[in-house]
Every structure is written in C-alpha cells, then in structure tokens.
Amino acid sequence: MTHDLPSLTQALRDFAQARDWERFHSPKNLASALSVEAAELLEHFQWLTEAQSRTLSAPQKSAVAAEAADVLLYLLQLCDKLGIDLVEAARLKMIVNGEKYPVALARGSGHQSPAR
C-alpha cells in the first residue's frame, strides 16, 4: 500500500462502501466521530506528567498510535466528503500562522499555540 493521502482516502471510501456505511458518513457524523476519537487520544495523557507524556512505554505508544490513526482516518473522511484538500488547507494555515505569529514576536513566548 502506498503512503499518500489520496490512496488512503480512496481506501477509506472502498472500506465504507463495502460495508454500506456511506449513508452514515455525513459531515456532521464524521465531525462528531472525530471529536470522540480526539478525546480518546487525549485520555491516554490525562493523568501523566509532562515528562511521562514524553516517554511513553511501547504499549502506551501503540495505544496512542491507534487513537491517532482513528483521528486521521475520520479527518480524511470528513475532508473527502466536503471536498477539502487537507494538505493544501494545512499549507495555507501554516502561512496564516506565520503571519499571525512572526518569529521575532513569538519565539520563546509559549503563550499561543501555532495551530490557532
């Protein structure tokens, strides 16, 4: 299997179609599922210290990877349903963030997440 987003998106379409799940994959339902999966990802870090969150055991990392994959898969499906080129949207967002948080003003401040 190739490692590009269009191939993965097509595999998701095929997967859902084979199971007759497309009818459930409205943008609203996909966004809801994405939110749930993001919360499940967060749950793995809920009571960890900062240091612990940086040094996950192999089983912890495997569980986090599975949840991260769920987040990615739902996000790809949502973008597919809405006709959003996720890579292009991310590139444009990085440009916006670069303008919003110029290096000279933001470097070392730690006050704002660059993903806002």
> How confident is the model at residue 106, as a pLDDT?
86
Q: How many domains does the chain have?
A: 2
Span 66-81, mean pLDDT? 98
Same domain, 74 and 53: yes
Same domain, 10 and 51: yes
CATH code, domain carrying 64: 1.10.287.1080
Span 12-24, mean pLDDT? 97
Same domain, 14 and 48: yes
> How confident is the model at residue 35, as a pLDDT?
98
Same domain, 13 and 46: yes
Whether 1 shows a pLDDT value over 60: the answer reads: no
Q: Tell me which residue range forms the domain holding 42.
A: 5-84
Same domain, 67 and 105: no
Give the closest residue to 9 by CA, choosing from 30, 29, 38: 30
Please give the mean pLDDT across all residues of the chain: 93
> How confident is the model at residue 98, as a pLDDT?
94
Same domain, 74 and 95: no
Same domain, 27 and 40: yes
Whether 111 shows a pLDDT value over 70: the answer reads: no
Q: How many residues does the chain have?
A: 116
H-state helical runs in the chain: 5-18, 27-43, 50-54, 58-82, 86-100, 103-106
Same domain, 47 and 97: no
Span 11-34, mean pLDDT? 97
